[in-house]
A and B are shown apart, each in its own frame.
Chain A
Amino acid sequence: MSAEAIRIAVRRPARRLFVHQLRSEQLVFWRSREAAFFIFLFPLVLFVLVGSLYSGNKYQGVPVKWAILAGFIGYGCANTTFAGLAIQLVLRRESGVLKRLRSTPLPPATYVAALLASTLIVFGLQAIALFLVGRALYGTPFPPDVGSLVAVLVIGAAAFAALGTATASMIRSAEGSSAVVNFILLPMAFLSGGFGPTKSYPAVLRAIGDVLPLKYLVKLVYAVYLHGHGFWTQPGALAVLGAWGVAGLVFTIFRFQWEPRAR
């Protein structure tokens, strides 16, 4: 066998395994009513509710509902890739699924890649649904520069997924995981403009928001969606988001566990 043929023979099963695991992750996700509701549907429901509260005003020169939609894109990203991923990982670790998978030929890297890709698919569908709902109910436009928006959301999803795996590594038992994760996520979304612009918030709350990663994702979505700028026009926001992502990744590498921690 030539070197090339060997490489293909080795690579092909890896790709086959990835696709196989991605399909089973999708099946597992959509079959779980709790996951499908709290991760996929909940941000859509909140968007409809919050969107109906504001009317008429302008924000940064565009209708405020555009900004609310942009905020919910950011919140949806954090909810799916950070909170959803963290809760699912803790549940799987504590129930022993991760441990059981370790004794199969499925490589850990393939498992993680498929889980992340599956999470990204869920968020992608959620973002599309948010734009469709916004258009139908509130007349919000579709994004002017889809490429830049996708880039921003993939970077944001990567950073929040890293923070999600890091948070999963910190949580010791399945019972409290949902509470802990939402205790982090909901205030962060509120302070970061995830539920609508923060310009009328007290200075203290806005200062807290200034250190949170979601603020910078929302800022990027504002730039790309509200103003049609390219994603590279906000290097500061990209840097903060990236730093949070790297911190989450480093923490994950040192602390992630495959086996149940609660005994």
Chain B
Amino acid sequence: MLAIEVSGLRKAYGNLEAVRGVDFSIDEGEVFGLLGPNGAGKTTTVEILEGYRKRDAGEVRVLGSDPERPAADFRERIGVVLQQSELWPNLTVRETHATFAGYYRAPRDVDEVIALVGLREKANARVKSLSGGQKRRLHLGIALVGDPDLVFLDEPTTGFDPAARRAAWEMIRSLRSLGKTILLTTHYLDEAEQLADRVAVMREGRIVRVGTPRELTTADLQTEIRYRQDGEEVLVRTDEPTRVLAELTSAAVARGEELEGLQVRRPSLEEVYLALTAEEEEEVEA
């Protein structure tokens, strides 16, 4: 079953075309990452799926509904973490969860959710006393308290320190194990690589690549083989690393030489991403 289906999605704000024809689909239970720099159209895309914005063109199905004309239970079944939003500063963590729980027909147990997002010690603390990371966890908690099938996370870890990010990743992994479908936007490559089953790279309102993190890293860039010869660095890029490496090493063995500093590496998602972003600059120059 598909949780989300998008085809030919377009959205402009005045003259600015934020989304220029986007297609993708997300399976139930999948963690899908929308990756791209600021201004790529990620948030606009997600907010159309959440029902906040009307699209200019294209087809959108979210949990079987058109978000512009959602089924009665649409908002019962989604959980949303917005990129920027505050809550009531003077309520406690538990009161905030209880307030949101009251909006849903079959909410989860409030204390259970507070424990899930790691705020048990802060359950009676006022929201205004929480750190930035704790506030994001609170937002995650209230997104989960209605027991949604589909969770939207718009840049869930932006502004976190490394430890807080790792903790948030653990939490998102635990959501996946609950069988939730998750649509995650991020401009952190490692985050997409760590969390997402599949990643779509967005740039200037279009999806320029979709696949598993592994597919993206193997399909797009050649494997790099580096070694030193006569004191000089040699770099070989190849689509056939096994054959090239065998030839290099057997030739070296035949000569009785050692290939100094021999390294074989696949490009990271970061390099793929930078390459995808760089294409545009080349086009501009050409």
A13-36 interface mask toward B, CB cutoff 8 Å, 1 = contact, 0 = none? 100010011001001100111000
Task: Please determine whether B99 and A99 come into contact, CB atoms closer than 8 angstroms.
Answer: no
Q: Which of B85, B99, B105 contacts A105 (CB 8 A)?
A: B105
For chain A, the count of residues having a C-beta within 8 Å of the partner chain is 22
Q: Which of A32, A33, A99, A104 contacts B103 (CB 8 A)?
A: A104
Most chain A CB inside 10 Å of its own CB: which residue of B73, B88, B105: B88
Evaluate whether A97 and B82 lie within 8 angstroms (CB atoms) in the complex, with A105-B104, A106-B103 already known: no
- Residues 62-113 of B at the A interface (beta carbon under 8 Å): 73, 75-76, 78, 80, 82, 84-91, 95, 99-100, 102-105
Task: Please determine whether A105 and B82 come into contact, CB atoms closer than 8 angstroms.
Answer: no
B51 at the interface (CB under 8 A from A): yes
A95 at the interface (CB under 8 A from B): yes
Task: Please determine whether B82 and A99 come into contact, CB atoms closer than 8 angstroms.
Answer: yes
Task: Please determine whether A104 and B85 come into contact, CB atoms closer than 8 angstroms.
Answer: no
Most chain B CB inside 10 Å of its own CB: which residue of A17, A24, A259: A24
Task: Please determine whether A31 and B90 come into contact, CB atoms closer than 8 angstroms.
Answer: yes
Q: For B80, list chain A residues within 8 Å (CB).
A: 100, 103
Q: How many residue pairs at the A-B interface have CB separations less than 8 Å?
A: 62
B52 at the interface (CB under 8 A from A): yes
B205 at the interface (CB under 8 A from A): no
Evaluate whether A24 and B99 lie within 8 angstroms (CB atoms) in the complex, with A102-B52, A103-B80 already known: yes
- Residues 77-107 of A at the B interface (beta carbon under 8 Å): 95-97, 99-100, 102-106
Evaluate whether A105 and B76 lie within 8 angstroms (CB atoms) in the complex, with A99-B82, A100-B82 already known: yes
Complexed CA–CA distance, A32 and B90 (Å): 6
Interface footprint category on B:
20 to 34
Task: Please determine whether A100 and B87 come into contact, CB atoms closer than 8 angstroms.
Answer: yes
Q: For A20, list chain B residues within 8 Å (CB).
A: 99, 102-103
- Residues 97-134 of B at the A interface (beta carbon under 8 Å): 99-100, 102-105
B141 at the interface (CB under 8 A from A): no
Evaluate whether A95 and B75 lie within 8 angstroms (CB atoms) in the complex, with A17-B102, A103-B52, A104-B104 already known: no
Task: Please determine whether A24 and B102 come into contact, CB atoms closer than 8 angstroms.
Answer: yes
Complexed CA–CA distance, A231 and B95 (Å): 41
Task: Please determine whether B50 and A103 come into contact, CB atoms closer than 8 angstroms.
Answer: yes
Q: Which of B52, B76, B103 contacts A259 (CB 8 A)?
A: B52
B146 at the interface (CB under 8 A from A): yes
- Residues 239-263 of A at the B interface (beta carbon under 8 Å): 259-260
A-B contact pairs, 7 of them (CB 8 A): A17-B103, A20-B102, A24-B95, A33-B90, A95-B85, A99-B82, A260-B84
CB within 8 Å of B: which residues of A?
A: 13, 17, 20-21, 24, 27-28, 31-33, 95-97, 99-100, 102-106, 259-260
CB within 8 Å of A: which residues of B?
A: 50-52, 73, 75-76, 78, 80, 82, 84-91, 95, 99-100, 102-105, 146
Closest 7 pairs between A and B when the two form their complex, measured CB to CB: A96-B85, A31-B90, A95-B86, A20-B102, A103-B80, A104-B103, A105-B75
